[in-house]
Amino acid sequence: MADSSAQPTAKYRSDYKAPDYTIESVALEFDLDPSATKVIAVSTVVRQTNDITDLVLDGEKLELLSIKVNQQTHDAYQVSEGQLVISELPARFELEVVTRVNPKENKAFEGLYQSGDAFCTQCEAEGFRRITYFLDRPDVLATYSTKIIADKAQYPFLLSNGNKIDQGELAGGKHWVSWQDPFPKPSYLFALVAGDFDLLEDSFVTQSGRTIALELFVDKGNLDRTEHAMASLKAAMRWDEARFGLEYDLDIYMIVAVDFFNMGAMENKGLNVFNSKYVLANKQSATDNDFLGIEAVIGHEYFHNWTGNRITCRDWFQLSLKEGLTVFRDQEFSSDLGSRAVNRIKNVRILRSHQFAEDAGPMAHPIRPDKVIEMNNFYTLTVYEKGSEVIRMLHTLLGEEGFQAGMKTYVERHDGQAVTCDDFVNAMQDASGKDLSLFKRWYSQSGTPVLKVQSEYNEAKQQYSLTIHQHTPATAEQSEKQALHIPVSVELLSSNGEALALNSNGQAVSSVLELTQQQQTWHFEGISEQPTLVMLQEFSAPVKLDMEYSTDQLLLIINHASNTFARWDGMQKLVSAWMKQAVEQVQAGNNLQLEEAIINTFKLLLEDTSIDKGLLAELLTISGENEIADGFAQVDIDAIAQARDFFIYSLAVALPEQFAALEQACAKADKQSLAHDDINLRSLRAACLQYVAHTQPELVAAAYFDSPTMTNKLAAMSAANNAGIQQRDAMFKDYEQNWQHDGLVMDKWFALEASYAKEGSLARVKALAEHPSFSMENPNRVRSLIGSFANNNARHFHAKDGSGYRYLTDILCVLNTQNPQVASRLITPLIQTVKLDDERKALIIEQLQRLAELEDLSKDLFEKVTNGLQQLKA
């Protein structure tokens, strides 16, 4: 490892200090050139203190050409790595900084870079410092005007934030366009795009009668894949007005889709830059999940206009202020437009399979972290998904009316400001009158709480007593935990499945119990028989349960719980209990057996014509190996895989007629529309195909070759992939021949190939890295192939010879300098391994040491490698 004095150092939330200077306005001029773009930044700078101090500006990968103060050359400055320090300054002045950057060689895709033939920017979190020297922090809010100069033939579209105010022609075939954003914003929200695109135009009339121009830019030839994205944008604008009363504020809203992008999308004010994955879709090239994902991400970035842009973060430790809240808003958007139950189930699957693992891993952190080395490392499931669950708990505690009152107070109080998570909770508290001081601990405490549940029924008193004890296990950097304010939604079921009234002290009580102490007991009266307890309806808190259920109790919940999520969760508990026993049997060398009670449960579900098709699809979808592994103190990769395979195969051979009949019925009833009833039919068909593949593989092949839609083709390919049927190769070859010209569509193929669990998996992945459609420079390709292998092919990634670990580390060594941000996300399955056996841990430590010894180890990887080694060696 490099000299320790050169190692990155941590920043702490507690050290926050307001800037000595602020920037009121900035005028930017870009003369675009692929290898030598000139940037002129003229800022109005104002000192915030009475003391005369140096102005310290952030800058990376910049060539400084000149500095002027009040239009005079200024020599009192020093340039060091990452900083420009300017001395001898008045209290208020105009600062001109001229820099040159090389977009063509910027493979990190931060700051100004090239995506194909177009220019593009990505400035969140700290990318603006790669454009010019600046106070690159979110609490410096300035108004921006931007002039862009470029060759007109190559770059006919010149885009930036705000409203277009002027344009003109220049000598030599160049032209220019000027933009002005009237709303103060931090530098991370700046955007510039220049290129030649296809354009989809539309408009939206706001609730106050203003007409907003909508423009969607895509690469040439992709216009036929833009209609859904535009429809999603208009739906999001309508929804935000109807549900939250928030109206768009500029005259134009633009979206640009680019192929080379580290994230999903970026909410830059008035000019959203999107990964093409979340814009381009038609039935031939995209699945239903793609369409739904586009709807959600389009909504997410639009909703940021108020929860992120108009009100932004004081510092990056407050990231969940905008992201947790906006994820909650996009989840509600998707639920209001589609199936609330299915959306909730899918969101919880992500938490249980990935976020809970993050909470238990070396990078565990609260949704508002206390320290950070590289901010990009905290764009995490904890900040986003758990952050959303914290907002959802507030909604559960306050109700829709109370929550909306809090939102109104928040917007009125903080519009145009950079604020904190505490400011948001205080607005909720003040508007509702509910004491949320204890609730704030969710922002500062890491880890997943565990609720131990005990109950007692007194037949003589007809009283049911429920005791809940909360405990949050120690995490990597937080050993002491406090009691949290946890909303626990419950239901009591009678033996025939009827919901029992909840009464205490002679009065009806809410089904949402508020757990605020380490242990609390509730007494319910008038309970005429021993009830079955349904816990965490709608998953009312991001916690784990320590509670014993009998098979009969779970079957009662699956069939009769009033909450749809609770029914699905009952099935998860039933399957999880079997999996734990099965793993023990595998480890003992015994044969596995699937009980008739479980088979009959699935049989009844398959034959129930009244059940919601989307819910049934989720009930038939068995949790992945990562989610199953979360239930074990020590993970046996091979035993879990064997148990899961056996479970699916046993159901398939026990109920072949039922699965095939339902699959065929779904195919016949599907009208091939994007209506949610048809989406649910296709989801159910896909779930059935996973079983049908084991008994009637010809139906899987037919589902692929006879269908014109990508949804059905991918469903068939997934089933063939998981079952390893003979027809798989023909399907995959046909797909490759048809789509190898389109990298975005090939990502689905790469992901399935990388997840194929049969022998030779790693060799296949290595060969595919040489495929003409693959590029190590494209983050989407890397995630689809390398990421899918590491995350979704556990039995081969965790091979006992360590080959999977070595291969991922080889890739990380390349990406460490090429694109550290992508490398940092890719390393996750290599460090979230604390539950593995000692032999595998030793192999992982060996690879992490390889990375630690790199002379040029990036900040992004340094933080994760260091924390990973510390936890594994503990």
Residue type, 326: T
| 820, containing H or E segment | helix 820-826
In total, the chain counts a number of residues equal to 874
| Alpha-carbon radius of gyration of the chain | 28
Q: What is the mean pLDDT of the chain?
A: 97
110 is catalytic: no
Residues in Cβ contact with 165 at an 8 Å cutoff, skipping those fewer than 6 apart: 145, 178, 179, 180
Measure the CA–CA gap between 629 and 836, rounded to whole angstroms. 10
Strands 312-313 and 418-419: parallel
Of 743, 792, 779, 750, nearest to 767 by C-alpha is: 750
Q: Are 180 and 162 in contact (CB under 8 A)?
A: yes
Phi, psi of 737 (to 5 degrees): -65, -35
Find the DSSP H helices in 634-742. 637-654, 656-669, 676-692, 697-705, 710-723, 728-739
| Among 96, 126, 267, 301, the one annotated catalytic | 301
Provide the pLDDT confidence category of residue 4 given band limits of 50, 70 and 90.
very low
pLDDT tens for each residue of 319-356: 999 999 999 999 999 999 999 999 999 999 999 999 99
- Please provide the DSSP assignment of 308-357 as one string: TTTBEESSGGGHHHHHHHHHHHHHHHHHHHS-HHHHHHHHHHHIIIIIHH
| 524, containing H or E segment | strand 519-525
Residue 615 three-state SS:
helix
On the question of pLDDT at 185 being above 90, the answer is yes
Measure the CA–CA gap between 765 and 808, rounded to whole angstroms. 11
What is the percent of the chain where pLDDT is above 90?
99
Q: How far apart are the first and last CA of the chain?
A: 20
Residue 587 three-state SS:
helix
Would you tell me which CATH number, out of the four given (3.90.650.10, 3.30.70.2190, 2.60.40.1730, 3.30.200.20), belongs to the domain 17-196? 2.60.40.1730
pLDDT tens for each residue of 457-501: 999 999 999 999 999 999 988 999 999 999 999 999 999 999 999
pLDDT tens for each residue of 641-662: 999 999 999 999 999 999 999 9
Residue type, 663: E
Measure the CA–CA gap between 582 and 599, rounded to whole angstroms. 15
Measure the CA–CA gap between 82 and 315, rounded to whole angstroms. 19
Strands 265-266 and 371-372: unpaired
Measure the CA–CA gap between 354 and 568, rounded to whole angstroms. 19
Measure the CA–CA gap between 571 and 583, rounded to whole angstroms. 18
Of 313, 274, 315, 314, nearest to 295 by C-alpha is: 274
Phi, psi of 235 (to 5 degrees): -65, -40
Residue type, 642: Q
Query: Six-digit token pair at 541?
Result: 């808190």
Find the DSSP H helices in 518-633. 551-560, 564-587, 596-607, 613-620, 625-629
Measure the CA–CA gap between 342 and 773, rounded to whole angstroms. 34
pLDDT for 6: 65
Reduced DSSP (H G I as helix, E B as strand, rest coil) percent helix, strand, coil of the chain, to 5: 45, 20, 35
Q: Are 144 and 28 in contact (CB under 8 A)?
A: yes
Find tokens 């709480």 and name the residue. 449
Q: Could you give the maximum distance between any two Cα atoms of the chain, in Å? A: 95
pLDDT for 5: 46
Output DSSP code: residue 202. Answer: E
pLDDT tens for each residue of 683-735: 999 999 999 999 999 999 999 999 999 999 999 999 999 999 999 999 999 99
Q: CB 53: neighbour CB atoms within 10 A?
A: 13
Average pLDDT over residues 12-26: 98
Query: Six-digit token pair at 217?
Result: 């830019």
pLDDT tens for each residue of 408-439: 999 999 999 999 999 999 999 999 999 999 99
Residue type, 580: K
pLDDT for 834: 87
Query: Six-digit token pair at 455?
Result: 């109950």
pLDDT tens for each residue of 845-870: 999 999 999 999 999 999 999 999 99
On the question of pLDDT at 3 being above 90, the answer is no
Beta strands in 152-251 (DSSP E): 157-160, 163-169, 174-185, 192-195, 198-205, 211-218
Measure the CA–CA gap between 74 and 54, rounded to whole angstroms. 13
pLDDT tens for each residue of 123-150: 999 999 999 999 999 999 999 999 999 9
Find tokens 């010809």 and name the residue. 698
Residue type, 129: R
Provide the pLDDT confidence category of residue 632 given band limits of 50, 70 and 90.
very high
| 22, containing H or E segment | strand 21-31
Measure the CA–CA gap between 627 and 644, rounded to whole angstroms. 11
Provide the pLDDT confidence category of residue 874 given band limits of 50, 70 and 90.
confident
pTM: 0.97
Strands 463-471 and 450-458: antiparallel
pLDDT tens for each residue of 502-529: 999 999 999 999 999 999 999 999 999 9
Q: CB 596: neighbour CB atoms within 10 A?
A: 10
On the question of pLDDT at 393 being above 90, the answer is yes
Measure the CA–CA gap between 792 and 385, rounded to whole angstroms. 20
pLDDT for 2: 40
Residue 435 three-state SS:
coil
pLDDT tens for each residue of 587-604: 999 999 999 999 999 999
